[in-house]
Amino acid sequence: MMQQDGLKRDEDLFWTGRLVRILRGKRSLSEFGALIGAPKNTVWRWEAGMTTPHPRYAQRLGKLSQKEGFLADWELAGSMTITGSIESGSQRIGEAVKQSVRRTARQLT
């Protein structure tokens, strides 16, 4: 479901194994599963990329992520238009990637 400002809510995220793992943090599979009402083996399968969360669980993950402020300061990166030489465009893309990595590193620490 979209918010009035047109942005997706956390419940609408596509929950990849990596995102689930980051949200779980230092909690055990059992602890995390209990928070969202899922068996620990199911959480493990999501993290391993074997399956994706059923919409019912995706909604629970979204609610937990909102409660914990998960990804609160992440920003979408827009498209980049290259004008000029390939070298200058490559440099700008490199800088954009570095900024994104720094932002992600701050989020993970």
pLDDT digits (tens, 9 = 90+) for 49-99: 999 999 999 999 989 988 888 776 665 555 555 566 777 777 888 888 888
- Between 32 and 92, name the one with better pLDDT: 32
Query: What are the sequence ranges of the domains in the chain?
Result: 10-68, 73-109
Q: How far apart are the C-alpha atoms of 58 and 46, rounded to whole Å?
A: 11
Q: Tell which CATH classification among 1.10.260.40, 2.60.120.10, 3.40.50.40, 1.20.272.10 matches the domain 10-68.
A: 1.10.260.40
User: CA-CA distance, 58 to 37, in Å (whole number)?
Assistant: 11
Count of CB atoms within 10 A of residue 79's CB? 4
Round to whole Å and give the CA distance between 46 and 32.
Answer: 12
Report for 4-8, 10-14, 23-27, 83-87: range of highest mean pLDDT: 23-27
Q: What is the DSSP letter of 49?
A: T
Q: Determine how many CB atoms are found less than 10 A away from the CB of residue 16.
A: 14
Largest CA distance in the chain: 54
Q: What is the pTM of this model?
A: 0.58
